[in-house]
Amino acid sequence: MKVTIFNGSPRGRKSNSHLIVEPLLEGAREAGAETEEVFLVEKDIEHCRGCFACWGKTPGICAIKDDMAGLLDLLLESDYAGMAAPVYGMYMPGLLKNFYDRFLPLATPYIYRNDDGSFYHEGRVKRFPRQFFIFNSGFPGKHNFDLLRAYVEMVKRGGPDRVVLEIYRNCGEALGVPDEGPPPEVLQKIAGFKDALRQAGRETVTTGQVCRETVDQLHVELMSDEEYMAGANKHWDRVIAESE
Ligand SMILES: Cc1cc2nc3c(=O)[nH]c(=O)nc-3n(C[C@H](O)[C@H](O)[C@H](O)COP(=O)(O)O)c2cc1C
């Protein structure tokens, strides 16, 4: 079984997204899966040109010759494919959006209607990996992921089993080790969050789903909104003072 996660943070290997992906894949490996994390920022991925050559002139094949064809092969040979990224402007960073735009060769041009009145293009490939969505925000609170949740709901319309796990981790900047060092009770909660990630990875590989209890542990509050704001604002006071 192959589990691949595409990390769409511009920070790549130094990202908070990576701090979330690492334990998840560790759990998947413990359960016997082959795993890979792909850092999109290290790849050559041009913007989609909107030429539709992949629908007309060369069906299924993009006109742009960069790393994308290889990445789509990797996606399609995976049993589970995850996308991990920070919230940017209440949505996903351009790096991940750009990657998604380049999925166009995987769809056919014809338009169909869903029962709920929305529309879709049928996939060109018969087997698509089941998916993870892993997002982290720099804000505390509950509303950072509203647009991303809407995006994931759209993916789920493709079939009830399409999405195996969704992680919406607020207070993302607490995951790294800020210079001030978070208080011990927060460190303990972060350790619990990472244990839950390992558990989610194991459950995915062994049962094909992640149980409610694990999902709840993944969304446990790391600290109060006020504590997070105070820590973050203090951090920026210091960074700005040091640069003066
Ligand atoms: C250009 C930019 C836009 C951002 N927009 C948001 C936002 O709308 N909401 C939010 O909660 N955090 C926002 N953030 C903060 C990031 O989501 C946060 O720093 C995150 O932990 C970074 O994760 P990463 O290390 O995986 O990239 C933004 C950061 C940048 C650089």
Q: Average of pLDDT values for 55-68?
A: 98
| Distance from the alpha carbon of residue 229 to the mean position of ligand 1, in angstroms | 14
Provide the residue count of the chain.
Answer: 244
By the 10 Å C-beta count (0-12 exposed, 13-18 middle, 19+ buried), 5 is classed as: buried
Dist CA 163 CA 180 (whole Å): 37
Cβ of 151 below 6 Å from ligand 1:
no
**Per-residue CA distances from 44 to 28, 69, 70, 168 (Å):** 28, 11, 11, 28
* Alpha helices, H only, 88-145: 94-101
| Distance from the alpha carbon of residue 63 to the mean position of ligand 1, in angstroms | 32
Dist CA 109 CA 2 (whole Å): 29
Q: Average of pLDDT values for 165-194?
A: 89
In this model, does residue 23 exceed pLDDT 90? yes
Q: How confident is the model at residue 116 (pLDDT cuts 50, 70, 90)?
A: confident
**Per-residue CA distances from 63 to 51, 115, 156 (Å):** 8, 33, 29
Least confident piece of the model among 13-27, 45-59, 165-179: 165-179
The pTM score is 0.96
Dist CA 146 CA 152 (whole Å): 10
Residue nearest to atom 5 of ligand 1 (CA): 88
Q: How many CB atoms lie within 10 A of CB 115?
A: 6
Cβ of 95 below 6 Å from ligand 1:
no
Q: Average of pLDDT values for 9-33?
A: 98
> Do residues 120 and 171 lie in contact, with contact meaning Cβ atoms separated by under 8 Å?
no
User: pLDDT, tens digit, for every residue of 131-149?
Assistant: 999 999 999 998 999 999 9
Q: Which of 5, 17, 88 to mutate to test the pocket of ligand 1 (most atoms within 8 A of CB)?
A: 88
* Alpha helices, H only, 67-145: 68-77, 94-101
Ligand 1: atom nearest CA of 9 is 27
Q: How confident is the model at residue 160 (pLDDT cuts 50, 70, 90)?
A: confident
Query: What share of the chain has pLDDT > 90, as a percent?
Result: 91
In this model, does residue 179 exceed pLDDT 80? no
Q: Mean of the per-residue pLDDT values for the chain?
A: 95
Domains, the chain, with CATH or none: 2-243 (3.40.50.360)
Cβ of 172 below 6 Å from ligand 1:
yes
Secondary structure element (H or E) that encloses residue 131, with its range: strand 130-136
Residue 229 is predicted with a pLDDT of 96
Residue 178 is predicted with a pLDDT of 61
- What token pair was written down for 90? 């209440």
